[in-house]
Amino acid sequence: MKVVRDPIHGYIELDELALSLIDTAPMQRLRRIRQLGLSNLVYPGANHTRFEHSLGVMHLATTLTRQINSIPQHEKDELRAAALLHDIGHGPLSHVTENLIAQYTRQKHEDVLHLLRKGEVAEILDEHGLSPTIIQKHIKGESDVGKILSSEIDVDRMDYLVRDSHYTGVAFGLVDHVRLIHEMQFYEDKLVVGTGGVKAAESLLVSRFLMHPSVYYHHVSRIAETMCVRAIEELIQNNVIKPYELRKMDDAHLLHIMRSDEGYAGKLARSLEERKLYKRALYVGFNEVTEGVLKYRGNVRRIEAEIASMAGIDTNDVLIDIPRSPEIPELKALVKLNGKMVRLDEASYVVATLEKAHWDNWKMGVYTPKECREKVGKAARDFFEVKKTTKQFRLTEL
């Protein structure tokens, strides 16, 4: 047994299985993939990686299973391996490339069975009598014990919220994960939070709610990610990058290919490196556009061309970012109250009110070079039929 020092959880124990898996190429690649993609353009300290996150998730999964005697040791070993390996399917820059990879390969980052069944990872799992198929189920939360790793409230969320808060310096990731883990248990084969953990569960949801606009959906991050995705799409369409190869890359490899391009992709890549980003020509929420705007998510390119034509500029100078509708799976987490299981949003008024608040956080953006901002903004407002909002005056202006 060895230990490593983690800035979030203190000392993390590594047994023979963990040490063997850590030394494999798929795990070492995670050292070269930033957890928050391009968020370091906003928060300079956000350079932590998927590797250290994976160690943290394994640590929390181990801590939780130690207090549940009903879980057999072999399942604890499976879950420990699954926690460590759960992110090996991530592409470079983490979630920046996730939708692109899914679009072209029909595989999400949780789909890692092909990596578990071959090479050194497969050999290690075989040596320890662990099934790749079962570990895949644990990673996707398709087994009872896998709910610890992937469910409405899981150790994956606990680690990334606390870790991301620490490295960005944003003080919203104050999750009492120690208390929450202590209050989690299996009841009727379902993972539930005990009565004493409701406040800790509330802290997790409030933290996630506050971290979304401040970190995960910060407008500068969204602009940078939209530019990056467009550059990668260009390289895929020009056969410079193959989607299945993209999934195997690390950040440095991808950025090198992008900056080496002599066309539009290279121009965007160099703008990202120099932090010369597009600006917001339009940035609105559901209070100014209806939910019907979500239908445009599948036709973004056509709309960009139309807005560019209305503004009289090149199509490449308009980028549209329409996030998917807000999802809050944590609301469905189960809480055990007085011997009965109820949903978390039924047990907590605080949690119930967060659903609407998440919709208030949603923003769509139309981005363009600084010099085109005014005319693109006008064209975008006309196209999306943006509602006029009532202006609020300060007392000094009256």
CA dihedral of residues 336, 341, 343, 348 (deg, nearest 10): -40
pLDDT band at 389 (very low <50, low <70, confident <90, very high): low
| Cα 206 to Cα 71: distance, rounded to the nearest angstrom | 30
- pLDDT tens column, 254-267: 999 999 999 999 99
All structural domains of the chain with their residue ranges: 1-169+218-277
**Torsion region of 72: left, alpha or beta (phi above 0 gives left; psi -120 to 50 gives alpha):** beta
Per-residue model confidence (pLDDT) at position 189: 84
Per-residue model confidence (pLDDT) at position 374: 97
- Over range 184-209, report the average pLDDT: 90
| Cα 216 to Cα 208: distance, rounded to the nearest angstrom | 9
- pLDDT tens column, 62-77: 999 999 988 999 999 9
- pLDDT tens column, 316-327: 999 999 999 888
pLDDT band at 391 (very low <50, low <70, confident <90, very high): low
b/e code 110-132 from CB counts within 10 Å (16+ = b)? bbbbebbeeeebeebbeeeebeb
pLDDT band at 338 (very low <50, low <70, confident <90, very high): confident
Strand segments, DSSP code E, in the chain are 2-6, 10-14, 184-187, 190-194, 279-284, 319-321, 334-337, 340-343, 364-368
Structure tokens at 383: 């196209």
- Over range 21-38, report the average pLDDT: 98
- Over range 257-280, report the average pLDDT: 97
Per-residue model confidence (pLDDT) at position 172: 76
Q: Which amino acid is at 239?
A: N
User: Could you tell me the CA-to-CA distances from 20 to 14, 26, 33 in Å, in that order?
Assistant: 9, 12, 20
Selection from 343, 348, 325 nearest residue 333 by Cα: 343
CATH entry 1.10.3210.10 includes domain 1-169+218-277: yes
* Residue 390 pLDDT greater than 90, yes or no: no
138-141, long-range: CB within 8 Å, 24+ apart, which pairs? 138/78, 138/79, 138/82, 139/82, 139/85, 139/86, 139/110, 139/112, 140/110, 140/111
Q: What is the mean pLDDT of the chain?
A: 93
Percent pLDDT > 70 in the chain is 97
pLDDT band at 397 (very low <50, low <70, confident <90, very high): very low
Structure tokens at 280: 């917001």
